[in-house]
Amino acid sequence: MSARLRSRALRIALISTGLVAVLMIALCVAVDVIVAQTLRSSATNRLTSELAQLARGPAGPALAEPDVDDPVLVWEVNAQRAVVGSTAGAPTLPISALTATRPSEMRFGGADVLVAGVTIPSGRLIGAVSLGDESKAGTALIVTEAIVGPILLVFVFVGAFVVGRQTAGPIERARRRQLEFTADASHELRTPLAVIEAETSLALTTLEASGADDPTLRRVAVETHRMRSIVEDLLWLARFEALPPDPVSEPVDITTAAAVGADRFVSIAERAGLRLEDRSDGAVLALVDAPADWIDRLIGVLLDNACRYTPTGGTVSIAVSRDRDHVRLTVSDTGPGIPLERRGRIFERFRRGTTDGDGAGLGLAIGNAIVDATRGRWQIADVPGGGVSVGVVWPHSRTRLVERVQP
């Protein structure tokens, strides 16, 4: 079983077990409450019934215990609140119980009891029934739930894992076939597109040498180059998603990577009439655990998008900052910005944040895949005066470099 399939099955099992655990806890709490109320109600009925029976006695209260198996202790109190009689073995009646009327819980004689009282011609009868059996029953129920519950959850987890693996298997195979088809198709398209691009470039060069031009051929060259870029992006995404979930990472200095990326895009920005600025503090060592080529690709995507959509005369800037626990990479531009209603979907494939430009909508999908795989998170904000700031925040690497390599 592949690591990806096992991960999906494990996720299904954990979610299922969590839901069952929540339902089980709710059910156990409800059962405990119902049982506790039932046991208390039974004790209350025994107590009130015994007191009512004694109070109705024609010759006065008979305090001899009528039910040996279910003892109720009774005290007879006169009008001066003095105890004048009690059932055999009854402890001293606390003063707080002399005025008891409705059944209420108290503790005396070293035990939890339910106490109630009724009025008789000579004073009052105070009765008490032990809640020890009820407490034991409640404790036994809780202990049983604590033992049986985890065992049931283990069975639920194992069953959900097996079912999840069987369910995720066909889905994973279909996903793999789709990735393989995308990768194969992209790979096969690269060669003919390269040939077309080379032939059109050669033809345009020949025409230019003779002082002629062919607008149709030039459009073919432009669209071929665009199609080849799309194919390259699709191939990269397909290969990326086919990688193991835990790629080999290394501490990458984002400050250095940003400087290298900015140098690579200087000529592109100049041809577009843009000013490209690196606003990072070169002395800041900002380390992130990630494959170096992924970070390079992410920076390339962000700078390419910024240069592509910023109008002539605008500014594109890249900056790296670091606080104690996090590293932030930010690429800002003075372009049209990204409308709020589109920001939720700009990371989907073939989705674009603006109708301007000629992008295919794959760049940010690639960037999002990298950010997710490297435990980063996006931060998108408007730039005062127009434009957008696209940032990524990562946890700072715990690894320390002995020597910093300068670009």
- What's the CA gap between 212 and 245, in Å, rounded? 54
- The pLDDT of residue 232 is 78
pLDDT in tens, 340-398: 878 778 887 766 555 555 555 678 888 888 898 888 999 999 888 888 999 999 999 87
Burial class (CB in 10 A: 0-12, 13-18, 19+), 302: buried
- Per-residue pLDDT, averaged over 311-318, amounts to 92
Domains of the chain: 3-136 (no CATH), 250-395 (3.30.565.10)
Kindly report the pTM of this predicted structure: 0.54
> What is residue 97's DSSP assignment?
G
> What is residue 337's DSSP assignment?
-
pLDDT in tens, 77-106: 888 888 888 887 788 888 888 888 888 888
- What's the CA gap between 199 and 201, in Å, rounded? 5
Helix (H, G, I), strand (E, B) or coil at 14: helix
- Per-residue pLDDT, averaged over 282-307, amounts to 88
Give the pLDDT band (50/70/90) at residue 190.
low
pLDDT in tens, 196-210: 878 888 888 888 778
- The pLDDT of residue 68 is 38
Strand-pairing partners, residue 86, are 75
pLDDT in tens, 102-129: 888 888 767 788 899 888 888 888 888 8
pLDDT in tens, 138-169: 888 889 988 998 999 999 889 888 887 777 66
- What's the CA gap between 137 and 244, in Å, rounded? 53
